[in-house]
Amino acid sequence: MGGMTRADAAPLPPSLDQIAAMAHEAREALPEPFRGPARAVAIRVEDFAPDDILTEMGIDNAFELTGLYDGIPLTERSVLDQPDRPDTIWLFRRPILDEWVEREDVPLPELVAHVLVHEFAHHFGWSDADIASVDRWWE
């Protein structure tokens, strides 16, 4: 009789799709004039960054990378650029969840939004002041 049932178990951590949904909500919450152009950037969520990216960036511990912007920043783009794939923001679920647990006092959607805004900063070529106007964590 005294066995643990599913209802007694700890809740499951948010899935890749749930993190992606939080990221899409955060993108829709961006102020104009950024919201429209931000919609052209793909959002991908994986558990961890691929090994080749970690090696290229000189990162030994996959838990150190919560997000990555993969593309040509708008401030550096020229009409001659012919991208072979859409600009993409990668969010890495396990490092984000790890940071969320460490912080203890930040709601997960807020942390996902913070990582996303930081990666959009690379896309838009924002300064720290620009980031602070969108994400209060930078104030």
Q: pLDDT tens-digit profile of 38-85?
A: 999 999 999 999 999 999 999 999 999 999 999 888 888 776 666 677
- Asked, for residue 30, whether it belongs to a domain, the answer is yes
Q: Which 3 state secondary structure label does DSSP give 45?
A: strand
Total number of domains in the chain: 1
Report the distance separating Cα 13 and Cα 15, nearest Å: 6
User: Is residue 34, in this structure, part of any structural domain at all?
Assistant: yes
In a domain, 31, yes or no: yes
What's the CATH code of the domain at 41? 3.30.2010.20
User: What is this structure's pTM?
Assistant: 0.85
Residue 139 has pLDDT above 60, yes or no: no
Q: Structural domain of residue 97, as residue ranges?
A: 13-72+84-138
**What is residue 138's predicted lDDT score, i.e. its pLDDT?**
56
Mean pLDDT, rounded, of the chain: 87
Q: Is residue 71 left, alpha or beta, with left meaning phi > 0 and alpha meaning psi from -120 to 50?
A: left
Average confidence (pLDDT) over 23-47? 94
